[in-house]
């Protein structure tokens, strides 16, 4: 598949920080998709209108009306033999994205034997859920208690009723299955690095106290700072960082990998990936001192690292399901992200596993309500998502008049009416609806970014667990 973005696209400098999948500074779809000397001419406006009309007609002709997950047989069939199925979302606070992803995941697990779900949640915190759903260790008695481990802001992202129902189903589904055939639940994010270091030391203190002392000493380079702002200030002022210490700590686990696996594979897997996560977390944090995409890229590198290592752990023929924002699962090369030097798990997976072994499903909405905060660690609010900007993919799909709508992109060349770069909505945990048109649309070639796309004209909020 050829990934391309029109050379006529103008791209403004990305500003702000990248929070949980939100690209905060992409300019509106309209100004990106049709920049050029002819912009003010009547001829150009006529061309733009006809392009939109052709796109609407194409969606109307090729879109599939679906009322629920049980009508997604064409998607399930296409995804069933892939090594990784990537399920996206256009926000972290929308009920429909979670319930439909849960339904697709259930079908892939139950009908096609998928081995695990890995989500855009912290590895150490999600591992509690894994132990619970796989009946591997005594955990809190119910799904509400186990999801309480997701204590970090934004709690609603995983501690919600939609996820709780999925966790209860997985717990019940696994109950009478052989241990090796139980489907797991994991996280791939890096923000719980303190808990990750605790997991590493807890394992070593039980199985290799001498190594625990060495690793604790290496971790001291990082933990002696009261917070990450203090660490960044120290690196900025001195030029010294903790990367070599954290890599040395991980090397201790690598050197004894087989012995530790034989001794306690369940807890070693947790500690080993936690150790890797700490290495990536430090790179991600330190990347904030650099201009450009370094911080973003180190985070998504761990996303793929964690998913790939699970495939390797589960063995030959293993298959997994990834839940993350559209900005992570949709191939970055089909967006302006690539021109800013950004990669994501969708791109990496296609490059490393092969495009025929990866299936990426995007989700989107035209309007609705969403849970989000107006600033980092801000109060959770129910916010209105305004109508999508004119000319965006969401606007075109709304005009096509089909909702819920499934688009299948088996061959991007068969969708020339949609190949012009357009805006594709991206709402994060930090959201200001007043700036939606200017900050929340990613310039995209949709048939190249995703293998399939599911659209809802109107969506509602997640339900946080009380």
> Measuring CA to CA, which residue among 338, 318, 325, 355 is closest to residue 426?
325
Distance (Å, rounded) from C-alpha 175 to C-alpha 136?
10
- Phi/psi for 405 (5° steps) reads -125, 135
pLDDT of residue 289: 92
Taking only Cα atoms into account, the Rg of the chain, rounded to an integer number of angstroms, comes to: 22
pLDDT of 22 > 90? The answer is no
Contacts of 204 by beta carbon, 8 Å cutoff, 6+ apart? 211, 212, 215, 271
In this structure, the number of other CB atoms found within 10 A of the CB of residue 61 comes to 9
**Above 50 in pLDDT, residue 7?**
no
φ/ψ region of 317 (left if φ > 0, alpha if ψ in -120 to 50, else beta) reads left
Structural domains of the chain, with CATH: 1-114+319-466 (3.40.1660.10), 190-294 (no CATH)
Q: Is cis: bond before 455, omega within 30 of 0?
A: no
Contacts of 311 (CB under 8 A, 6+ apart): 83, 84, 318, 319, 320
Comparing CA positions, the residue from 282, 308, 304, 305 lying closest to residue 295 is 282
Cα–chain center distance at 323 = 5
| Residue, of 42 and 370, whose pLDDT is higher | 370
pLDDT at 32 over 50: no
Token pair recorded at residue 349: 């997976």
Measured over the CA atoms of residue 326, residue 332, residue 333 and residue 338, the dihedral's sign is: positive
> Buried b / exposed e across 329-362, counting CB within 10 Å, b at 16+?
bbbbbbbbbbebebbbbbbbbbeebeeeebbbbb
Model pLDDT for residues 257-302, shown as the tens digit of each residue: 999 999 999 999 999 999 999 999 999 999 999 889 999 999 999 9
Q: What pLDDT does residue 2 have? A: 38
What is residue 24's predicted lDDT score, i.e. its pLDDT? 36
| pTM summary value | 0.90
pLDDT at site 29: 31
Closest CA to 26 of 306, 259, 332, 266: 332
Task: Round to whole Å and give the CA distance between 197 and 53.
Answer: 55
Spatial neighbors of 239 by CB under 8 A, at least 6 apart, are none
pLDDT at 47: 59
Give dist(CA 376, CA 116) in Å, integer: 30
- Give the C-alpha separation, 459 to 385, whole Å: 9
User: If you write DSSP's letter for every residue of 309-341 in order, what string do you get?
Assistant: HHHHHH-TT--EEEE--HHHHS-GGGBTTGGGT
User: What is the model's pLDDT at position 291?
Assistant: 84
Distance CA 347, CA 452 (A): 15
Tell me the DSSP string of 169-228.
HHHHHHTTS-GGGPPEEEEEE-S-HHHHHHHHHHHHHHH-HHHHHHHHHHHHHHHTSSSH
Task: For residues 425 and 459, give the distance between their C-alpha atoms in angstroms, rounded to a whole number.
Answer: 13
pLDDT digits (tens, 9 = 90+) for 313-369: 999 999 999 999 999 999 999 999 999 999 999 999 999 999 999 999 999 999 999
Q: Give residue for tokens 């996280």.
A: 187
Residues with Cβ within 8 Å of residue 26, at least 6 apart in sequence: 12, 14, 32, 336, 423, 426, 439, 440, 441, 442, 443
Confidence band (pLDDT; 50, 70, 90) for 6?
very low
Tell me the per-residue pLDDT of 174-225, one tens digit each, with 9 for 90 and over.
999 999 999 999 999 999 999 999 999 999 999 999 999 999 999 999 999 9
Report whether 6 contacts 420 (CB < 8 A): yes
Give residue-wise pLDDT tens across range 128-173: 999 999 999 776 678 999 999 999 899 999 999 999 999 999 999 9
Is the pLDDT reported for residue 454 higher than 50?
A: yes
Residue 256: is its pLDDT beyond 60? yes
């Amino acid at each position: 598949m050829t990934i391309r973005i029109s050379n006529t696209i103008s791209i403004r400098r990305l500003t702000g920080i990248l929070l949980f999948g939100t690209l905060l500074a992409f300019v509106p779809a309209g100004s990106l998709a049709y920049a050029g000397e002819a912009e003010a001419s009547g001829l150009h406006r006529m061309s733009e209108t006809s392009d939109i009309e052709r796109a609407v007609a194409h969606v109307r002709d090729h879109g599939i009306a679906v009322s629920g997950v049980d009508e997604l047989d064409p998607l399930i069939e296409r995804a069933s033999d892939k090594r990784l199925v990537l399920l996206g979302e256009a926000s972290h606070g929308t009920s429909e994205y979670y319930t439909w992803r849960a339904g697709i995941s259930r079908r892939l697990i139950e009908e096609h034997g998928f081995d695990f779900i890995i989500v855009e949640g912290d590895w150490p915190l999600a591992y509690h859920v894994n132990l619970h759903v796989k009946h591997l260790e005594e955990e809190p008695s119910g799904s509400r208690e186990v999801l309480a481990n997701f204590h970090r802001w934004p709690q609603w992202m995983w501690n919600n009723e939609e996820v709780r129902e999925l966790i209860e189903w997985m717990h019940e589904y696994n109950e009478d299955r052989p241990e090796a055939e139980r489907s797991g639940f994991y996280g791939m994010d890096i923000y719980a690095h303190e808990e990750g270091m605790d997991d590493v030391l807890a394992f070593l203190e039980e199985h290799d106290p001498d190594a625990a002392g060495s690793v604790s000493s290496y971790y001291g380079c990082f933990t002696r700072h009261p917070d990450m702002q203090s660490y960044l200030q120290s690196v900025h002022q001195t030029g010294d960082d903790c990367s070599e210490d954290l890599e040395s700590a991980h090397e201790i686990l690598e050197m004894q990998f087989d012995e530790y696996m034989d001794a306690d594979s369940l807890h070693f897997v947790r500690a080993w990936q936690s150790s890797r996560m700490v290495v990536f977390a430090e790179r991600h944090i330190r990347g904030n001192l650099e201009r450009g995409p370094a911080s973003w890229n180190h985070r998504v590198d761990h996303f793929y690292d964690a998913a790939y290592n699970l495939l390797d752990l589960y063995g030959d023929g293993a298959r997994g399901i990834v839940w993350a924002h559209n900005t992570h699962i949709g191939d970055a090369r089909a967006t302006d992200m690539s021109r800013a030097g950004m990669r994501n798990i969708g791109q990496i997976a296609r490059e490393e596993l092969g495009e025929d072994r990866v299936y990426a499903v995007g989700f989107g909405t035209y309007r609705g309500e969403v849970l989000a905060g107006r600033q980092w660690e801000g109060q959770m609010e129910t916010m209105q998502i305004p109508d999508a900007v004119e000319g965006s993919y969401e606007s075109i799909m709304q005009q096509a008049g089909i909702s819920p709508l499934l688009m299948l992109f088996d061959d991007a060349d068969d969708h020339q009416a949609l190949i012009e770069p357009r805006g594709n909505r991206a709402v994060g945990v930090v959201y200001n609806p007043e700036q939606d048109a200017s900050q929340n649309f990613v310039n995209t070639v949709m048939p190249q970014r995703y293998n399939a796309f599911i659209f809802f004209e109107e969506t509602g909020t997640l339900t946080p667990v009380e």
